[in-house]
Chains A and B, each alone.
Chain A
Amino acid sequence: MTEVSFYGHGLPGFKKKRLPGRLVVLEGTDGVGRSTQISLLREWLEKEGYAVGATGLKRGKLAGRGLRRAMRGHTLGNITMNLLYATDFVDRLERLIIPALRASFVVLTDRYIYSMIARAQVRGVDPVWVRNLFGFALIPDAVFYLQADVSHLVPRVLNARGFDHWESGMDFLRAPDYYESFVDYQTRLLAQFDAMAGEFGFVRIDANRGIHDVFQDLQAGIQEVVKDMKPPKHPKEGKKDAKRAK
């Protein structure tokens, strides 16, 4: 991260200008394989000698459980849902992501504010309002956008856990069944992500390909982001060299 910058007003009371860690975001629609890639990347980075943290939506200590509970019901309105997501997000940002970045971690996050913006916009929420809402978000070091066609997503979702009420947009679309609704909803989400790619500087990764191909692309991208933070390979030898030079 080093130089800290925010999308908007930033966090009240936050004065740090530099954070030594790196913040890496994986974005993309439901079923595109983000969590698989994060698990793989995490292990790889740890093997390379980095301290790695991983986080994702609805996992915060404060609001994660409450948000999941609210989503099991059918009374959650649009604005309320966004604000609960924001609550969970800021909790993870302040109490998990930032402390990890201060401690030189590479933080991998499964989705960031872009998913929340895309979901809100598809549901007709004011785009300016959502962007302001997330104005306290740190600008990440890199955002990798895993891009796959809906036709590729369907079998993956069916293979995993089936169609989900919210991931199919059943809360606001009037499609006759989950399948139709999922296709319609994900198509709309993809259009939102495409439109945001330029605005937020996404690095596009073609996720219609196999897991290994996608992984290699991500590896190459992340290597660029972390390359300056690597400690010298053999610190002891380094010291000896320094002494000898004296």
Chain B
Amino acid sequence: MAWLADGRALPGKLFIVEGIDGSGKSTQLDMLRKWLVGQGYCVAFSEWNSSPIVRTITRRGKKKQLLTPTSFSFIHAADFADRMERQMLPALKGGAIVLADRYVYTAFARDAARGVHPDWVRQVYSFAIQPTEAFYFRVTMDESLTRISSGRPELKYYEAGMDLGLSKDPQESYKLFQSRILEQYEKMIAEFELRVIDAALPLLAQHDQVREIVQPHLSGALLAERRGWREVLATEALEGRYLDEIVGPGGEP
């Protein structure tokens, strides 16, 4: 079950992953998705900061450095609300499994690290659905830095927390900012019953732990009707040449 803010249960299941950049949470969520899809479940996916309505505002704010801690907080809340109203809530009402890469805890951690009042942020997000399980991938600062610096050219302004004026050096600022965020995550483990996964473990060992926690929630979850077209191809001797043009992100038309 996932729960509405007022306590009513929704038929779908909501699994979310949290952790700082470089914790490997997105990789783990992707593995979880493939496993669930492979078993035939109807799976929807939602990613932090991806609402098409809000994206242009966020981009503008970042590019022109217009953002303050409060407007930063609101923009992300708007992004989250839009994805909740249009993606997550309808899917959960329909009984699907919803996977979210980052959830309200990201906002709680980052906003608090920017000096926004924690109670206020929690109130702002009080409309959020309570997840079935929330995973926190715990990683040390050094490990996360090693992982992210190998994959990309340089740290971005807000990502490094440069708006806080902690340090003029992006690398240094990033460290200070992320350690504040880590501190916030640690505090939230008990408050929100986050499931802690040691992100230093081998990939598959982490995935096994995730599966074990998710498994008991799966009975009765909505199954997807997704193999029908394969049958048509097989029995009608078609190749599906034009299906390629309409394949969605899940590899299904």
The residues of A with any CB-CB pair to B shorter than 8 Å are 8-9, 11-13, 61-63, 65-67, 69-70, 73, 75-80, 83-84, 86-87, 90-91, 94-95, 126, 129, 132-133, 135-136
Contacts and interface: CB of A to CB of B under 8 A. Distances in A.
B89 to A, nearest CB: 9
A70 B70 contact: no
Contacts of A65: 60
Interface stretch (B51-59, B217-225, B227-235): B51-59
19 contacts: A11-B70, A12-B116, A62-B57, A63-B61, A66-B54, A76-B53, A78-B85, A80-B54, A80-B85, A83-B77, A83-B81, A83-B124, A84-B54, A87-B71, A87-B75, A90-B68, A91-B71, A126-B126, A136-B120
A155 B124 CA distance: 39
Interface in B74-94: 74-75, 77-78, 81-82, 84-86
A79 B127 contact: yes
Interface of B: 51, 53-54, 56-57, 60-61, 64, 66-71, 74-75, 77-78, 81-82, 84-86, 114-117, 119-120, 123-124, 126-127
B82 A77 contact: yes
Query: By CB atoms of chain A within 10 A, which of B51, B84, B120 has the most?
Result: B120
Contact of A12 (B61, B64, B115, B124): B115
A63 B71 CA distance: 9
Contacts of B82: 76-77, 80
Contact of B85 (A9, A12, A79): A79
Contacts of B67: 62
A86 B74 contact: yes
A63 B59 CA distance: 10
A63 B85 contact: no
In the A-B complex, list the 5 residue pairs whose CB atoms are closest, starting with the nearest.
Answer: A77-B85, A66-B57, A83-B78, A87-B74, A79-B81
Of A66, A70, A77, A78, the most chain B CB neighbours within 10 A belong to: A66
Given A69-B56, A94-B71, A9 B120 contact: yes
B124 A133 contact: yes
B154 to A, nearest CB: 24
A8 B126 CA distance: 16
A8 B78 contact: no
Contacts of A87: 57, 71, 74-75, 78
B60 A62 contact: yes
B66 A91 contact: yes
A130 to B, nearest CB: 10
Nearest to A70: B53
A73 B53 CA distance: 9
A76 B115 CA distance: 29
Nearest to A93: B70
Contact of A63 (B75, B77, B114, B116): B75
B157 to A, nearest CB: 15
A62 B70 CA distance: 13
Contacts of B56: 66, 69
A79 B83 CA distance: 11
A11 B74 CA distance: 13
A90 B71 contact: yes
Contact of B70 (A78, A80, A90): A90
Given A8-B120, A83-B77, A75 B86 contact: yes
B59 to A, nearest CB: 9
Contacts of B53: 66, 70, 73, 75-76, 80, 84
A79 B68 CA distance: 21
A66 B64 CA distance: 15
Nearest to A63: B57
A84 B81 CA distance: 10
Q: Most chain-B CB neighbours within 10 Å: which of A80, A86, A95, A136?
A: A80
